[in-house]
Amino acid sequence: MNEISPERPFSWRFTTPLFVGSALNPINSSLIATALVPIAHGLGVSIGQTTALVTALYLASAIAQPTAGKAAEVFGPRRVFLAGIGLVIVGGLIGGFAHNLLTLLISRVLIGLGTSCAYPTAMLLIRRRAKDAGLDKPPGGVLGGLQIAGIATASLGLPLGGVLVGALGWRAAFFINVPVALIALGATLAWVSPDGPLDRSRRARDIAASLDAIGIAGFAAAMIALLLFLFALPTPHWYLLAISVVLWIALVLWELRARTPFLDLRLLSGNRALTSTYLRYGLVLLCVYVVLYGVTQWAQTVRGLSETEAGLLLLPMTLMSGLMISPISRRNLVRGPVIAAALACLIGSAGVLLLSASGWIGWVVVVTLIFGVAMGTAGAGNQTALYDQAPAEQLGTASGLLRTFGYIGSIAASAITGIVFHTHVSDPGMHLIAWIMVGVGVILVLMTLADRTLRARPTH
């Protein structure tokens, strides 16, 4: 059952659990949005307190994505993928039966940790499958499908959450993870080849050194301090930023000495192409998530739309991104798509300037379609670039870091909208955010056009 068919090494049996698992993280990131108010009423807490449920998943995911990739390189990607699915099941059950906010926070952390295991391990499993089948790289459609599952599904969480919460109550936003994860679990056990045997003679100290446990802990601490600082804006807690800076400096000093560093800083400094891919991806996601956060708030507050209606306005963006990803990935294109993504961000940001309380509501759909182009072209192009640029033995960590940069971009977008809309949501505030996005778009276009590494594709 687990044997590779020489004719179809990437059949639907192999790809289905990887795609399903990779979709869980982005969907969960937005699924909770429509449940926050019902949770506050159901548990007797303020709506402000329930926003910690959003923060918890972001924090866990930003840290866990590269950590899961590193663990997969040491223990095997299938084992880590299955462990992640197990955490999602446990987290979904804990959240579904929770009776207080602390339990829900624990649930969201477990879901964040578990869903973060899917993407980096899927990239490693796909590379291993291609190698076993004698292929230089997998078919572009496989990477495209993974990108559709991992990015284009993000905005699906809003309308899905609205339907689930409206029909079954807020607990459904947690319980829904269980059947989906069980499907991924069964499909993985049946259709994904097992990892090789573990070396049981290795001591715990050797395993910790291979994982660079100190580096992972330092990265987690530095990232938590930085993200908490960003989440607290517009009220700046400068001590958190100072702690983060000190921790980042200590992490750099440690990683330069580590035998098998969690963050290979020499690789990142010497591999300008990979570093540029991370920066491009983070900037595009910043613009995209400003639309998800800012335009959604503006549509609800200024235009008077319900949460479900605002969520449905974003569906065209999801569809457009999916349509863009497939043909680009099948042809393994990089330079053209990432330039298109940068231009789409700039054009879409300029389009946000035309939003107004009295304007045509259809213009929101036009703007989101443009950002759907940006999301699709950036996702497909940068993922193919990553697959080419990252060393084979570090693909898991490198893939996780790509997602981490995406999360930093999304968190920065949340901080921008939080600062501008701190007192109230308005047309002038939306236009100020648009000008910030235009500035980001200009930087993105210039750095992408000037990147010479995109003209010479590396090969493995």
Whether residues 103 and 169 share a domain: the answer is yes
Would 3 be classed as within a structural domain?
no
206 belongs to a structural domain? no
| Same domain, residue pair 349 and 433 | yes
The pLDDT of 313-323, averaged and rounded, is 81
Does residue 293 sit in the same domain as residue 406? yes
Asked whether residue 380 is domain-assigned, the answer is yes
Q: Are residues 67 and 160 in contact, defined by beta-carbon separation less than 8 angstroms? A: no
CA-closest candidate to residue 303, choices 259, 363, 346: 363
Return the higher-pLDDT residue of 448 and 425: 448
Residue 208 lies in a domain: no
- For 272, what's the count of Cα atoms within 13 Å in the CB-facing half-sphere? 8
| Per-residue pLDDT at 7 exceeds 70 | no
Please say if the pLDDT value at position 91 is more than 90: yes
Do 275 and 248 lie in a common domain?
no
Residue 58 to residue 47: CA distance in whole angstroms:
18
On whether both 456 and 443 belong to a single domain, the answer is: yes
For residue 140, what pLDDT band results from cuts at 50, 70 and 90? confident
Dump pLDDT digits (tens) for 261-288: 887 787 778 888 899 999 999 999 999 8
Mark whether 140 and 277 lie in a shared domain: no
- Percent of the chain having pLDDT more than 70? 95
Contact 393, 73 (CB under 8 A): yes
Residue 199 lies inside a defined structural domain of this protein: no
Q: Do both 117 and 162 map to the same domain?
A: yes
Residue 289 has pLDDT above 90, yes or no: no
Closest-CA residue to 174 (of 99, 238, 263, 281): 99
- Domain ends where: 138, 158, 193? 193
The answer on 317 and 169 residing in a single domain is no
Domain assignment present for residue 281? The answer is: yes
The string of pLDDT tens digits covering residues 11-23 is: 889 999 999 999 9
pLDDT value at 4 more than 60: no
**pLDDT tens digits, one per residue of 152-206:** 566 677 677 878 888 898 999 999 999 999 999 999 999 999 998 877 777 777 7
**The predicted structure's pLDDT at residue 460:** 45
Q: Which residue has the higher pLDDT, 32 or 126?
A: 126
The contacts of residue 121 (CB under 8 Å, 6+ apart) are: 68, 69, 72, 77, 78, 80, 81, 84, 396
Asked if residue 334 is part of any domain, the answer here is: yes
The CATH number given to whatever domain includes residue 338 is 1.20.1250.20
Are 33 and 122 part of one and the same domain? yes
Domain that holds residue 253: 213-258
Nearest to 11 by CA among 129, 176, 155: 129
Considering the domain architecture, whether residues 281 and 221 belong to the same structural domain is answered as no
Q: What is the pLDDT of residue 1?
A: 44
Residue 147 pLDDT exceeds 90: no
Q: Do residue 280 and residue 379 come from a single domain? A: yes
Look at residue 278 in the predicted model and tell me its pLDDT: 93
State whether 115 and 22 are in the same domain: yes
Instruction: Tell me the average pLDDT across 32-54.
Output: 83
What is the tens place of the pLDDT at every residue in 371-397? 999 988 998 899 888 888 888 888 888
Q: What is the pLDDT of residue 50?
A: 83
Total domains present in the chain: 3
Amino acid 307: pLDDT: 64
**314 lies in some domain:** yes
